[in-house]
Amino acid sequence: MKGIQDQEERVLFANALDQVAFSLKRHEVQFTDFMDRAKCERFLERLKSVGKIDMLSFGGVEDAERMMLGFSFGEGILSHEIFPITVIKIAPKSKKFGQKDLSHRDYLGSILGLGIERGKIGDILVSEDGGICFAEAEMAEYIQTNLDKVSKTPVTVTKIDKAEVLSPKRTEIRRITVASLRLDAILADALHLSRGKAQTLITGEKVNVNWSAVTNTSYILKTGDMVSARGFGRFRVGEVGGRTKKDRIGLELEVYV
């Protein structure tokens, strides 16, 4: 674990090493808990030196921000289908006039309020109809049985098939002009936020660039960067063009809709 400074990350990596050891010893497939994608990628890079072990990361849906690592002794065993991930839909029983929409924080807080560890929960996709939660299979039934409210809103919880949320991603290409490639400027324009709101999200650790939190509002983005703002959406930075007559930079964005 040389070179890992963050204590939480050291613990996660130690647990991942334990799963590798179990897989090698027992010749069984092993899985870690969910972790953010950036940690997954760092761990995969560090574990490349381990021989005779096959590794795969998956979070239940394409471009998931939280993922599990799977390990198997020998190749050709691991696949997305065998990851112990269950999808549950959490929907308000009814929506009253004027009632605010439930947020990612509302869903996550209510689930963790049941005593469930964060590592047991993957992505939570929020829409007007409710939330789609990716959870470790062993916890899904517990959530289904015990979660009856999110915030103060009564909800129903049902398991759904992964195929219902594995539809091809929908994106739209948006072309904008910006004064600079600063994160706060592009985030505000891409997700239709005020500059102040974008800055608050960034400094509040709610914005990821390439699946790692960035708190510097003046961080400079580049082509290929994936940017997400919790509860507001995400986009990928496309081609950076030249400057306009008004000295602004042309920029192409692939925005998830």
What CATH number should be reported for the domain holding residue 99?
3.30.70.330
**Is there a single domain that holds both residue 77 and residue 91?**
no
- Closest by Cα among 43, 37, 38, 53 to 15: 43
**Is there a single domain that holds both residue 175 and residue 108?**
no
**Is there a single domain that holds both residue 182 and residue 242?**
yes
**Res 74: pLDDT:** 74
Q: Is residue 108 part of a domain?
A: yes
- Among residues 51, 82, 113, the one where a domain terminates is 82
**Is there a single domain that holds both residue 52 and residue 97?**
no
**Is there a single domain that holds both residue 251 and residue 208?**
yes
**Is there a single domain that holds both residue 16 and residue 75?**
yes
Q: Is residue 30 part of a domain?
A: yes
- pTM of the entire predicted model: 0.76
Alpha helices of 69-212 — where are they, by DSSP H?
104-112, 137-146, 183-190, 195-203
Cβ atoms within 10 Å, residue 15:
15
Number of structural domains the chain divides into: 3
| Chain mean position to CA 132 | 12
The SS3 call for residue 87 is: strand
pLDDT along the chain (257 residues), means of 10: 68 84 86 91 82 87 89 84 95 72 90 96 88 94 95 93 71 90 94 94 93 93 92 90 88 89
Q: Is residue 141 part of a domain?
A: yes
- Among residues 82, 105, 130, the one where a domain terminates is 82
**Is there a single domain that holds both residue 70 and residue 93?**
no
Q: How far apart are CA 161 and CA 164, in angstroms?
A: 6
- Among residues 82, 101, 123, the one where a domain terminates is 82
Q: Is residue 50 part of a domain?
A: yes
**Is there a single domain that holds both residue 198 and residue 221?**
yes
**Res 147: pLDDT:** 97
Alpha helices of the chain — where are they, by DSSP H?
7-26, 37-46, 104-112, 137-146, 183-190, 195-203
**Res 5: pLDDT:** 64
User: What is the domain extent for residue 177?
Assistant: 171-256
